[in-house]
Structure 1
């Protein structure tokens, strides 16, 4: 097993330093008034943005600068704390590679990806109704999942889990009719709590991954595993941040889905067994009530002992509201094999 990698200098010693500061005074942080620091400094930084900057970039960066500066003033950030933050960001980049997206994991554990997803879904529901709820993409999606025959299995390797037949119908939000040729992209961790590329000793490429096209009536069905609760990787900055915040790294068991169709807005979501003990304390804040599902006993099927029905509702692209399919890791648009889907991550 790979030895845990450490951050460059100083997280744990600095945590003790902060605790010593906290122990020395029971009073809250000083409320900083506008006259305590240069009242014009932040606006001067914002004004330095050049005239050829795109309007949305200007809006986002102006707001970011304003909030970051307010944060520094509110907490009276020290030089040591600022440098710790710089080292932390550097460590996030150093541990990331083509198969590990630590920056996205940091966004997950502070709830940012779930918040961005909530904003995107709110824009959609306010303008067109209520399609299937979205949730975060997470760092384990792969663009290389193969298409499999409808009714086939994404289980390619040995496992200790329970096999389920997952089935449902993909329908149009307005017409209520089934959507043929929608692509249902599925991925999940194995019964040991690891995804294929985390576990090359036990899993082949694209184990527990697959894409399926719905039939003429919009129906899909395939075999998968009842998902397993697992821990986020804790050998990097995200794990150390969770430790500093006295939080656990556990994710409730879940199955990932990305449903796409050329004429419809796409959805990326996860579904969670109703009896999972971590539903209310998901380390990445991704659980929504309508994404909690029940696995039921299945009889008369020698391939599966469990049954899971999950129906999906998509909105047509000609309706207002942003698509809630995120960009693929690295910023590339997500492709479902027949079309390219752009969306907000």
Structure 2
């Protein structure tokens, strides 16, 4: 029997892939899985160790040589292979595109890369402008790449999504739920509610660099200082500066979704606050999580689009201006 092949590039993608493998209708047996990690961090290692036992073959990849030398690495592992289904999330990955160009397979199946699949201003909905990206594409084509993100979209027979109620970049949707561990539903709760503020990379979401300190002060004045509940700050993995030293900061090898879920061992309800982050979207269906999105004209239009999408799905909406 031909095996399935999974490619993962983020801890969230690993969790989605794991959920697909453990679903009742998955018939791929023990697949192959490659986790391309941005760093050899404890967080990435933790999620790789979660998925490795489910696979016949798995590899944790922390670095590859630059182009064109990584082609030798890819050919050594994949050339002339034949798979049943190939599961992909990062449809713009040139590694994935080269592998698809060289192997045999029955179907391509895709799954969400966070909110990039449902946000029409994301990189998946637009082509990069300029001569540079086009030149890269031509060079990759000369070395044997026959795929692009558009061809993968058209090739996908099934798309697994965390957000079945939103329009997706890819059709033929199939809902999938994340499998969280570490919560004892029978334990006695000690407190009513905790406010969990999910951080973001502030420099990437504000319209002007000078707006950062103003936004932080507005968050304090119009929201955090008004809260009557215990509060915890979860910094973004790419921006771990402590913007709010007055409240405890939680650090963990787990992704935010699982850290937040663990609070349900202690609290009856979680008030999840953020700027329309993928974490808020991923937990919007959890009955004990109340989503609140913060909004401001200081934020870029892309962020405000996410905020409006989440607010339109029932989240609380707080304007900071």
TM-score of the aligned structures, taking structure 1 as reference length: 0.25
TM-score of the aligned structures, taking structure 2 as reference length: 0.26
- Larger Rg belongs to: 1
Structure with greater contact order relative to length (CA < 8 Å, sep ≥ 6): 1
